[in-house]
């Protein structure tokens, strides 16, 4: 049992090491079609320079995967407030998926 727990925690730790962020900036553009696809993106003013998708992600953007993330991004865009985004380490095409987003 201890071996399984140790292996699980090692796997989770190594997976989180590939996630990017935090990225702090303002939302500059919000693109949505229908939630759940790679075409739902939030663009931010911060430089996204340590994302696992950095080889192709030159636009400082992230994929939004649910309505809560979309709502937070939209409220930040409309209010002009800053956001903090953590990526989840997964690439959707050439763009990292949002792990969490919050308004500052």
59-104 pLDDT, tens digit per residue, is 899 999 998 999 999 999 999 999 999 999 998 888 899 999 999 8
Q: Is the pLDDT of residue 27 over 50?
A: yes
- Considering only 8-17, 37-46, 50-59, which range has the smallest mean pLDDT? 8-17
Query: Domain residues of the chain, as ranges?
Result: 19-103
Question: At 76, which helix (H) or strand (E)?
Answer: helix 67-79
Residues in the chain: 104
What residues contact residue 76 under an 8 Å CB cut-off, 6+ apart? Answer: 26, 27, 82, 83, 103
User: How far is 87 from 18, CA to CA, in rounded Å?
Assistant: 9
CATH of 19-103 given 2.40.50, 3.90.25, 3.30.9, 2.60.40: 2.40.50
pTM of the entire structure?
0.76
């Amino acid at each position: 049992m201890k071996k399984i727990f140790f292996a699980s925690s090692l796997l989770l730790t190594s997976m989180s090491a590939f996630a990017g962020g935090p990225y702090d900036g303002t939302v500059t553009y919000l693109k949505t079609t229908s939630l759940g696809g790679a075409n739902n993106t939030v663009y931010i003013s911060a430089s996204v320079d340590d994302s696992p998708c950095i080889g192709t992600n030159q636009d400082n953007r992230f994929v939004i995967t649910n309505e809560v993330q979309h709502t937070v991004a939209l409220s930040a865009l409309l209010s002009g407030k800053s956001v903090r985004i953590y990526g989840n380490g997964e690439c959707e095409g050439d763009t990292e998926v949002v792990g969490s987003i919050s308004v500052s």
